[in-house]
């Protein structure tokens, strides 16, 4: 059972998350860089009393999700040109906020320049999200939530992305186990067994695509997103005692855990931690040390990384997302202003 103080934290996180989307979306203009928008969103969150639950992400056109900039501002693998918004781009803007570990996750799609090239796709993604939320009463089978989302997408002429879904949220846990379908998965699908539960939080985020297959793929390498997460499966103290980590690696692991717990963090947030132990190192040397330390922490499963996600056919991808709390009375949207 969620107590009133906890529920207040979830609601407050939701308000900040929504205000961030609404307050920053106007910055997504032709000529602006992705990095400008990402940094402004994260500063907005801090100024309004929250902390990022994950790095703000910008995903353009065929990129579906999981991209944030890194400190050298190198474009993502396979991206041609600069990370600058162009008129006609279909942009997914995804923001998460936490307050004392209570998480709000929300996203929107918009077209740079509002030229009307993606109006139907944007509308379908938004309506699919809202219709899915309306189904989320305690006891509703998960396949019914997916049914309505797919129906809206296909009626509008788009494919639902079938290998992306929403997710349950718990304190300090962005992906808490239960998945929220956004396509017609069927009553017997083993990945979506059971029903919507009361006293639970869910991120509802149907994706659609103009591509034919309705699938996304990982973009290599495995850290292409520049996003990392502490798994919570490995104790850095035990790793140090067993000599799986050297003292410097253990210190970095400790600092990361104290700062981010098990929530995702950006390379550009953590990279400056190397300035103190290596004050005289140049950029090339610090990058080399960062890669070596991350490689070690990943090898012992202290840290995991995220791929960029991209439509397999190169189709444009649309998405909208809300965080909802399901009570006995039905769904309450947390991510409202």
Query: Exposed e or buried b for every residue in 283-301, given b needs 16+ CB within 10 A?
Result: eeebeebbeebbebbbebe
Catalytic site residue 130? Answer: no
Catalytic site residue 321? Answer: yes
Q: Are 303 and 216 in contact (CB under 8 A)?
A: no
Q: Are 75 and 90 in contact (CB under 8 A)?
A: no
Domain residues of the chain, as ranges?
4-222+313-333, 227-305
- Can you tell me the mean pLDDT for 49-54? 98
Catalytic site residue 205? Answer: yes
Q: Are 315 and 90 in contact (CB under 8 A)?
A: no
CA atoms within 13 A on the CB side of 33: 12
Catalytic site residue 167? Answer: yes
In the set 12, 321, 322, 332, the catalytic residue is 321
- For the four alpha carbons of 114, 120, 121 and 127, in that order, the dihedral sign comes to positive
Residue reference for tokens 């186990």: 177
CATH domain 227-305 topology: Arc Repressor Mutant, subunit A (1.10.10)
In the set 12, 62, 205, 267, the catalytic residue is 205
Nearest alpha-carbon partner for 216 in 163, 256, 144, 267:
163
State pLDDT tens for residues 296-315. Answer: 999 999 999 999 999 999 99
- Can you tell me the mean pLDDT for 144-153? 98
Q: Examine domains 4-222+313-333 and 227-305 and report if their fold is the same.
A: no
In the set 35, 48, 175, 304, the catalytic residue is 175
In the set 167, 267, 307, 332, the catalytic residue is 167
- Can you tell me the mean pLDDT for 67-89? 96
Residue 151 has pLDDT above 90, yes or no: yes
Nearest alpha-carbon partner for 217 in 308, 317, 107, 94:
308
Confidence band of 221 (pLDDT split at 50, 70, 90): very high
In the set 12, 70, 89, 105, the catalytic residue is 105
- The CATH architecture to which 4-222+313-333 belongs is Alpha-Beta Complex (3.90)
Q: What is the CA radius of gyration of the chain?
A: 20
Catalytic site residue 328? Answer: no
- Can you tell me the mean pLDDT for 4-19? 97
Q: What is the mean pLDDT of the chain?
A: 97
């Amino acid at each position: 059972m969620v107590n009133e103080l906890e529920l207040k934290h979830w609601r407050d996180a939701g308000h900040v998350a929504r205000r961030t989307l609404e307050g920053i979306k106007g910055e997504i203009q032709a000529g602006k860089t992705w990095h400008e928008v990402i940094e402004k969103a994260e500063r907005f969150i801090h100024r309004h009393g929250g902390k990022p639950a994950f790095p703000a992400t910008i995903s353009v056109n065929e990129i579906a999700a999981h991209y944030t900039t890194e400190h050298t501002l190198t474009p993502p693998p396979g991206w041609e040109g600069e990370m600058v918004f162009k008129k006609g781009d279909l942009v997914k803007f995804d923001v998460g906020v936490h307050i004392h570990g209570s998480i709000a996750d929300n996203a929107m799609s918009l077209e740079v320049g509002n030229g009307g090239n993606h109006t139907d796709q944007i509308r379908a993604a938004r309506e699919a999200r809202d219709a899915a939320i309306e189904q989320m009463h305690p006891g509703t089978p998960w396949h019914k939530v997916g049914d309505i989302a797919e129906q809206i997408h296909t009626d509008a002429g788009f494919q639902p992305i079938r290998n992306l879904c929403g997710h349950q949220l718990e304190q300090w846990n962005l992906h808490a186990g239960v998945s929220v379908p956004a396509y017609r998965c069927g009553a017997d699908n083993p990945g979506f067994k059971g029903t919507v539960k009361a006293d639970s939080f869910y991120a509802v985020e149907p994706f659609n695509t103009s591509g034919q297959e309705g699938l996304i793929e990982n973009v290599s390498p495995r850290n292409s997103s520049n996003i990392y997460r502490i798994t919570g499966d490995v104790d850095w103290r035990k790793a140090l005692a067993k000599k799986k980590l050297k003292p410097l690696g253990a210190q970095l692991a400790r600092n990361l855990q104290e700062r981010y717990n098990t929530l995702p963090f950006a390379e550009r947030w953590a990279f400056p931690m190397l300035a103190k132990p290596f004050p005289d190192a140049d950029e090339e040397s610090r990058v080399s040390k960062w890669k070596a330390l991350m490689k070690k922490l990943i090898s012992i499963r202290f840290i995991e990384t995220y791929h960029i996600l991209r439509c397999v056919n190169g189709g444009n991808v649309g998405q909208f997302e809300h965080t909802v709390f399901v009570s006995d009375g039905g769904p309450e949207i947390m991510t409202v202003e």
